[in-house]
Structure formats: C-alpha cells, structure tokens
Structure 1
Amino acid sequence: MTTDRQPTVKVRPAQFPDDKDTISNLFLAYEQHLLDTASVKLDFQNFNDELANLPGKYSVSNTGALWLAYISDSAQNTSAHSTAGDAPANETTIGCMGLRAFTTAQAELKRLYLVPSARGLGASKALMDVAIARARELGYKEVLLDTLGSMTAARRLYEKYGFREIDAYYDSHPDAVFYRLELGVEEKGT
C-alpha cells in the first residue's frame, strides 16, 4: 500500500530584484482570479503602480515585507511549516502575501494568493503565521485587511486568527469586507 505524502510548504522573504517577476506574476494571477470569480478589477487600488514599483510599500525600508510560499522537491516530512531563508534551486513557488504600513501603528495584509493546485496544503496558514509574527516584530499594534464577502474560505481563515469584522477603512468594492486583528490579543491560528 502506498501513502501519498503531502508536500512540505515553506515560506521565505521575497528578495528584490531577484523575485520581482515571480511576485509580479503571482499578483497578476491574483488579479485575474478576482476578475474571474467576482468581476473585480484592482484599478481602484492603484494596482498597476504597485506592480511597476515593487517592492514599493512592501519594502523592508518602508516597514513592510513580501513572502513567497513554496514547495521544496526535497520535502522530508509531511507537515506544513514555514522557514525563512534563501530560495533552494528546487523550489516550486505556490503563493505569496504582503505586509505594508497603513499607519505607524497599523499594518495591512495584502495579496494573499495561492495557485489553485496548492490550496489545502497549509500554505495560507504558513504565510499568515510569518506575516503576523513580522507585524509584531515591527511593533505594529493592529493588522488590517480586506477581502470579498464571497471569499468564504479566506474569511474563515482570518477569523480563526482572531480577526474581527470592522467598518470600511477606505473606499473599496461594494462586496468588500474589512477586518482587524489587535496584536495584543493572541491569535488562534488553528
């Protein structure tokens, strides 16, 4: 009897300029996913400027970050986890997430995206763990995010981390739902 092993998911910081094309392609796939599933274009978020200026607001110098989730071909265990470090030659990139300053006390999570074949592997959790830990390290008091009401799996994930629905903090798409996590409160992340 053969058992299928789930690949090991790892997370690493995006390196610029080396990862610019990879991040750009994932961001474009994210935009296409929103267009295909919810008829949402990201023009209202100055998406083209964001792409052209990567890492831009996500740069370390702007108290932000971008991460890549990947599967290593040399996976040695079956649990999803995250590590920081250099990209191995045998990595298969499966997703991304960004963190940027919203105010001096508030960070904003943006662009959580996984390629469809990677959903269900634990990559979203791995990215969330790294992003929230980094927000704490940077001294943020709260983390904000927005998603679409129709993205029920994403909303469940955020709520498991302790994010609570709040009023809109900027003018957005009519189906947008806004969340806040107070970093003084331990997130569950289960």
Structure 2
Amino acid sequence: MTGLPNDPGRRPSPRLDLALAPARTPTDLAAAAALFRDYAASLSVDLGYQGFEAEVAGLPGAYAPPDGALLLARDAAGTALGCVALRPLAPPEVCEMKRLYLAPAARGRGLGRRLVAAVLAEARRLGYREMRLDTLPDMAGAIALYARAGFRPIAPYYPTPVSGTLFLARTLDEPA
C-alpha cells in the first residue's frame, strides 16, 4: 500500500526546508524503518500479507540500487520526516512505488508532491517506462496526489486480500 492518511480538516502549512536523498547508511535505513512502521501503524489494514516485517528487517531489500531506490526527506536538523521507495516489477521496464509516508508534522506542506516527483524522476533515471502503485480507498489525499501526478486506475496487478484496493499506473515518458 502506498498513501497518506486522510485529514480533510487540515489547513496547508508553510513549506518545509527539506533535503531529499537516497537512504544508504545504517542510520538512514533505521530512519526509513521507523517511518515504514509509523506508516503501517497508520493504516486501517494489517500489512502482514505483504511480508511487511521481513521487508523492514531486510531494508533496503528490493529497494536497493541498481534497480530500486529508497528516498528520505530530512529537515534542517536531520530528522527524517518522509520517505518513498521504488522496486522493480515484471516486465523489466515496470517499477512500483511503495511506502510513501509523511510524518504528521510534515503534512500539508508540499512534501508528498516533492517525494512523488523525486521517485518518478529516479524511476526515469533508472530506465523504467511505467510506474505502478496500490493504495487504499480511504486515502483520499493520496489518491488526489497520485491523480495530479498523472496516475490512472488500472486492473489489479497482484492478488490482495484487502477489499477495495486501488491499483494505479502512469507512463514515465514525460514529467508529472
């Protein structure tokens, strides 16, 4: 699942001064693991069916270079406030966006849009031609963000026990 918890009553806050960079060091991977766990705790479903705990324990796993990426957003003090990842799918020119998450303090400031733009750019740089993702129907803010970034509904690309899962994709031949 990929998404941002829905909070329709939230008002936009000033844009954060953030640095986006690949998670490479043990400290980076620990920060990503903490954000992944916060993300999972915020969901209305259990991610056990996706092997979530093994994924976190094995970071960077499928998100490792040269075919994957795991990006962190840190504030000026070095606090990790958001993340997003991509991993390869089959066929080889297709990748999947995973684990887009923003800490509550970072929401409403354009960080989600920046992370999506960054992961799309990284996918293009790696030579992918299409990006897919899945999200939950109750994540209205995330769904709107993905639509603005050019994602459109597609048929399910894997079986899921979570009723109502939305599957989205976009080509990577032009920027969002």
Alignment TM-score, normalising by the size of structure 2: 0.87
1:79 maps to: none
2:121 aligned residue: 133
Distance 1:16 1:44, change over 3 A: same
**RCO higher in 1 or 2 (8 Å CA, sep ≥ 6)?**
2
- Confirm whether residue 59 of structure 1 aligns to residue 64 of structure 2: yes
Which residue in 1 is equivalent to 2:100? 112
Q: Which blocks of at least 5 consecutive residues in structure 2 are unaligned?
A: 1-12
Which residue in the other structure is 1:7 paired with? 16
Q: 1:121 aligns with which of 105, 109, 131?
A: 109
5 Å matches for 1:1-190? 6-34=15-43, 38=44, 40-61=45-66, 63-72=67-76, 90-103=77-90, 104-172=92-160, 173-184=162-173, 186-188=174-176
Runs of 4+ in 1 over 6 A off after TM superposition: none
Q: Which has the larger radius of gyration?
A: 1
Give yes or no for contact 1:13–1:66 (8 Å, CA) kept in 2: yes
Amino acid of the residue matched to residue 67 of structure 1?
A: L
Q: Answer yes or no: is the 8 Å Cα contact 1:10–1:126 preserved in 2.
A: no
Give secondary structure in 2 for the equivalent of 1:168. coil
AA matched with 2:168: Y
Give RMSD over aligned pairs.
1.4
Amino acid at match of 2:96: E
Aligned partners of 1:120 and 1:139: how far apart in 2? 31
Mapped partners of 1:148, 1:6: distance in 2:
26
Q: TM-score, normalised by structure 1?
A: 0.81
Quote how far apart the aligned CAs of 1:31 are.
Answer: 0.4
1:144-173 superposed Cα distances (whole Å, 9 cap, x missing partner) = 000001101000000111100011111121
How many percent of aligned residue pairs carry the same amino acid?
40
Sort the Cα spacing of 1:121 and 1:171 in 2 relative to 1 into closer, same or farther, 3 A.
same
Q: How far does residue 142 in structure 1 lie from its aligned partner after superposition? A: 0.3
Q: How many residues align?
A: 162
1:21 is paired with a residue of what secondary structure?
Answer: helix
Q: Distance in 2 between matches of 1:13 and 1:70?
A: 11
| 1:10 shift after superposition | 2.4
